Amino acid sequence: MRCLVISPTPTHPQDAGNRQRIHALLAALRGFGHQVEFAFIQREAVGQDAMEAMRAAWDALHLIPYDRTAESPSLGETYALDDWFPPSLEEALGTLAAASAYDLVLVEYVFLSRALELFPAGTLKVLDTHDVFADRHLRLQALGLPVGFFHTTVTEEARGLDRADLVLAIQDDERQLFEEMTEAPVATLGFMPAADELEQAPHSALRIGYFGSGNPLNGHALTRFLDALEPAGLPALGAEMRVAGGASRYAGPAAPGLVPLGGVGKPADFYAGIDLVVNPHEGGTGLKIKTVEALAYGLPVIGTAEAFRGLGARAGFHAAPDAAATAALARRWALEPRFRQEVARESAALAARYAREVRRQLAPFRSRAALEALVRRPRALLVTDIPFWRESLGNQARIAAMLRAARAEMDLDTLFLGPLEAEDADAASAVLGRRGRLLASPGSGGDDVQAPPPAGLRLTPFERRSFDAAHFTALEGVLAAGGHEIVILEYIRLSYLRHASPAPPIRVLDTHDVMSLRTRNFEHFGREHFLRLSTLEELGIMDGFEQVLAIQEAEHALLRGALPGRSLLLPHTIPDLPCAEARKVVRRIGFLGGDSPMNRDGIRWFIEQVWPAIADLGAELHVAGRVCDALTTLRAPGLRLHGEVESPADFLEDTDIGINPVFYGGGLKIKTVEYLCRGLPSVLTEEGAFGLGDGEGTAYLVARSRGEYVAHLRALIRDPLRRRRLGEGAFRFGRARFGTHAARAACRTLASLAMAFQETTPGLHAGHGPAARAA
């Protein structure tokens, strides 16, 4: 390909994160055999040596003059999208576009997205975002920091994103934000610097290091970190704190335990003399280059969840809630040799995982055809009667999480079987993204449910009982409009819809539970399940789908044996969160649940049988969710009923120990997953831990009797160190099993199957390619 890259940031020297990122991408393009021309918008001054280095690095260097004095906000306190794109720049780039033909034009930063419109139809137009600029000024003001660089509104940024055939986000959280703003497809392209293994310089004391520029965000975080660290106490631990780069000015004068270094020649010169790198970053967006740079050099790193956002962190010391918590971890690192080894091992493992993922993300840049495959994505239709956009119940949260994972690989529409309120479309759009559509089938209102199905359908007895003629007709109408390669049905109770025609090539059943096993589980405890069918009939129905999704390992193993090659594991996933701190005193034991018989029976048993033996230790029992409706007559010391809470996340944030005392039900327990992924120590029944696997004792505790429940809770309440270790184990286990990466394999498999079908059906998505968008 002949590629033109338009950037206001030079590629040389690579002394800032954004310069490193741009240089790495251009170098990868050249490494794939493409011709790379660099159009440098001269917003930044560079020396002659840097200019010559850019000429030598790229196949052509185009210098575009730029006047920064013309940058003025036209939307009051913030900029309109094109306020940094003056007429002189449009004229210069227009001349360049008219003079040559390019296969790919890649623009750096959304405030230069106007450049994409200057190139003709048929050019593949890619926007590399680097950061989220919508409301950036408001985020900085909230931290009490000055506002610098470009910032705009959500509407304006969305308009810039829409100019591209493909938008690149630097990490997954930002990809998801952009997917809610733009109709252009969005792909994640991270960044891992190329770095040689360092030879450690000899030194006696342990050295903790921070390397960063002098921007206010760095200063805010470093100041808070140093205040909590109290470097004067480090020499007694055999350690010292070293600060390099422009951020040194926030470290103050040199003092015992604190060494501000100022500027250094090369990052490697600094890192060679450091034993631990810290990044206490708070607030802001974008990938934290200082974190990945230290990891690339092979250094152990400790930092906040913000500092590691987008990297797939699995350890609590890579997800501290704030700068003060990062300081506490740094002191622990200096004190505990075993902790130092743990940080080193996990940092190396994280660096290796992330480097592999970045290589995978770069692979489509090998050819134009591979890049266009990111634009010409398959389209799927999900059919459900669950209002997933509310995300207040476990099944709602599961579907929403699956949709957010799947929309990274495909476009998603939803057919909701039920009436919609006016506000539902906006809430659903936040889950589906701007490229998805919410459709509705209000149903028959009960009048036509018993209408006979169309002649010739081979329904099982269970499907015949479940059949709804109005919903069936609505789905056939959506399918007749065409364009869907995949249809996903939520729960087996909708399996009758697999017979709708014209059937897409890939029909998928998302099971949530193997319902016949769940029915037997209920019967064992003398409860009647709302849905009844035999295992034989259920497996026969599943055999009518091209793919079946399992939510946890045990059911995946069962279905993989019964349906070889057709079971995919797609667990519930939780977005990256800070690891909960282990407080010295337990204030709250928490349970969050909907109004189901399993939750009602389980929490009532706990309150009546377990809580009386715990209440004397001073903790309170906090219960949230609609399960509270069934508990209003209960009286117990320290019991607090919250009812349905607006933010389950806030409720869990204030919780010290999680419980799940359910003793029947089947399936993966979403609340248990939430405990794990937040690093909450928890005590579960065997049923509460069903489907988790091998984390008992290290990630959670299992109580098999009333006595064990009491003993586990009393021990956790009394022992802060045990709580901390169990919480850290929970976080590591939860992030490894239920982090957002866990859903990727199944979603990519479905997308690959659909893309294979596209290749055999030319023109299916002819209206989605770059040429069509430009037209």
- The stretch 170-181 carries a mean pLDDT of 94
Q: What pLDDT is recorded for position 547? A: 97
Residues 336-374 have pLDDT tens digits of: 999 999 999 999 999 999 999 999 999 999 999 999 999
Say if 718 falls within a structural domain. yes
Residues 493-540 have pLDDT tens digits of: 999 999 999 999 999 999 988 877 777 767 667 777 667 788 899 999
Spatial CB neighbours of 587, under 8 Å, sequence gap ≥ 6: 619, 620, 654, 656
Q: Could you tell me if 463 and 592 lie in one domain?
A: no
SS (H, E, C) 471-493: HHHHHHHHHHCCCCCEEEEECHH
Instruction: Provide the pLDDT confidence category of residue 761 given band limits of 50, 70 and 90.
Output: low
Residues 460-474 have pLDDT tens digits of: 999 998 999 999 999
From 538, 569, 600, give the residue that closes a domain.
569
Q: What pLDDT is recorded for position 445? A: 60
Q: Could you tell me if 357 and 498 lie in one domain?
A: no
Q: Could you tell me if 625 and 654 lie in one domain?
A: yes
Instruction: Judge contact between 483 and 451, C-beta under 8 A.
Output: no
Q: Could you tell me if 151 and 249 lie in one domain?
A: no
Q: Could you tell me if 337 and 406 lie in one domain?
A: no
- DSSP-derived 3-state class of residue 734: helix
Look at 153 and 391; give whichever has higher pLDDT: 153
Instruction: Provide the pLDDT confidence category of residue 762 given band limits of 50, 70 and 90.
Output: low
Of 514-528, 547-561, 687-701, 734-748, the range with the lowest mean pLDDT is: 514-528
Q: What pLDDT is recorded for position 524? A: 63
- The stretch 17-27 carries a mean pLDDT of 92
Average pLDDT over the chain reads 91
Look at 767 and 573; give whichever has higher pLDDT: 573
Q: Could you tell me if 9 and 74 lie in one domain?
A: yes
Instruction: Judge contact between 517 and 537, C-beta under 8 A.
Output: no
760, pLDDT greater than 70: no
pTM reported for the whole predicted model? 0.90
428, pLDDT greater than 50: yes
213, pLDDT greater than 90: no
Q: What pLDDT is recorded for position 518? A: 72
Q: Could you tell me if 106 and 222 lie in one domain?
A: no
442, pLDDT greater than 50: yes
What is the torsion angle, in degrees rounded to the nearest 10, for the CA atoms of residue 635, residue 636, residue 638 and residue 642?
-40
Q: What pLDDT is recorded for position 769? A: 41
Q: Could you tell me if 324 and 452 lie in one domain?
A: no
Say if 581 falls within a structural domain. no
The string of DSSP codes covering 94-111 is HHHHHH---SEEEEESGG
Which H or E element spans position 126? strand 124-128
Q: What pLDDT is recorded for position 285? A: 64
Number of domains in the chain: 4
Q: Could you tell me if 296 and 388 lie in one domain?
A: no
- The stretch 629-637 carries a mean pLDDT of 94
- φ/ψ (deg, to 5) at 622: -110, 125
Residues 70-119 have pLDDT tens digits of: 899 999 989 999 999 999 999 999 999 999 999 999 999 999 999 999 99
- DSSP-derived 3-state class of residue 513: coil
Say if 286 falls within a structural domain. yes
Range of the domain at 708: 588-738
- H runs (alpha helix) in 279-376: 289-296, 323-335, 337-362, 368-375
Residues 644-674 have pLDDT tens digits of: 898 888 999 999 999 999 998 877 888 999 9
How far is residue 574 from each of residues 125, 282, 359, 399, measured CA to CA in Å? 33, 21, 24, 12
What is the amino acid identity at position 435? R
Q: Could you tell me if 463 and 515 lie in one domain?
A: yes
Instruction: Provide the pLDDT confidence category of residue 773 given band limits of 50, 70 and 90.
Output: very low
Strands 437-441 and 639-643: unpaired
Structure tokens at 34: 């493409």
- DSSP-derived 3-state class of residue 181: coil
How far is residue 558 from each of residues 493, 512, 539, measured CA to CA in Å? 20, 14, 10
From 333, 362, 391, give the residue that closes a domain.
362
Alpha carbon distance 271, 262 (integer Å): 14
Say if 118 falls within a structural domain. yes
Of 18-27, 105-114, 442-451, 588-597, the range with the lowest mean pLDDT is: 442-451
Q: What pLDDT is recorded for position 286? A: 67
Say if 575 falls within a structural domain. no
Say if 760 falls within a structural domain. no
What CATH code is carried by the domain that includes residue 658? 3.40.50.2000
Residues 384-422 have pLDDT tens digits of: 999 999 988 888 999 999 999 999 999 999 999 999 988
- DSSP-derived 3-state class of residue 307: coil
Question: How many CA atoms are closer than 13 Å to the CA of 584, on its beta-carbon side?
Answer: 0
Q: Could you tell me if 223 and 310 lie in one domain?
A: yes
Which H or E element spans position 211? strand 206-211
Q: Could you tell me if 354 and 390 lie in one domain?
A: no
Give the position of tokens 């003793």: 663
Give the position of tokens 């929970």: 730
Closest CA to 571 of 655, 473, 674: 674
Look at 693 and 519; give whichever has higher pLDDT: 693
Taking each helix axis from N to C end, the angle separating 323-335 and 337-362, rounded to the nearest 10 degrees, works out to: 120
204, pLDDT greater than 80: yes
Say if 370 falls within a structural domain. no
Q: What pLDDT is recorded for position 775? A: 34
What CATH code is carried by the domain that includes residue 452? 3.40.50
Say if 40 falls within a structural domain. yes
Of 546-555, 614-623, 653-662, 760-769, the range with the lowest mean pLDDT is: 760-769
183, pLDDT greater than 50: yes
